Amino acid sequence: MSKVYIAGVWDTFHIGHLNILQRAKALGDFLVVGVLTDEATERYKPRTIIRQKDRLEIVKAIKYVDMAFFQKDTDPTKNGELQYFNPDILIHADDWDYVPGQDWMLEKQKTVMLLPYTPNISSTLIRERIIDCQPKEH
């Protein structure tokens, strides 16, 4: 049985998130998903809109996901997630130059893959659209 591991914030869950989870699942038999905690997320991007416990429940409900849990750091080796799950493939979206955990995976001669973002959709774009829809003060 091959295991695939992917982590993300999964805030304002959208079709791009669904697409990458579907593609990740297609690469193996068992998909493990890390859901970054609010604290881990705030170290590199703005505060989340959806609470972490709700984001975890949303991800768990996706049919492609076999297991989901809270990940407390962007690097899945800091708290031992990669070591514990020992995946065959580590997935990340292609918007980062460095994939957290890739050094450990490559040392173990395992696969690291970048999957493309779905064009024209992201949590950042959704936030911007929400802000643009707010009434303007005169």
- pLDDT of amino acid 47: 82
Assign domain 3-132 to its CATH architecture: 3-Layer(aba) Sandwich (3.40)
User: Mean pLDDT in each 10-residue stretch from start to end of the chain (138 residues)?
Assistant: 96 93 98 96 85 97 98 96 97 89 97 89 73 68
Residues 6+ apart with CB under 8 A from 97: none
Amino acid at 78: K
102, 96 in Cβ contact below 8 A?
no
Give me the residue spans of the domains in the chain.
3-132
- pLDDT of amino acid 138: 57
- pLDDT of amino acid 120: 79
76, 37 in Cβ contact below 8 A?
no
- Cα gap 114→27, rounded to integer Å: 12
- pLDDT of amino acid 123: 73
92, 114 in Cβ contact below 8 A?
yes
- The β-bridge relationship of strands 3-8 and 67-71 is unpaired
- pLDDT of amino acid 136: 66
Amino acid at 63: K
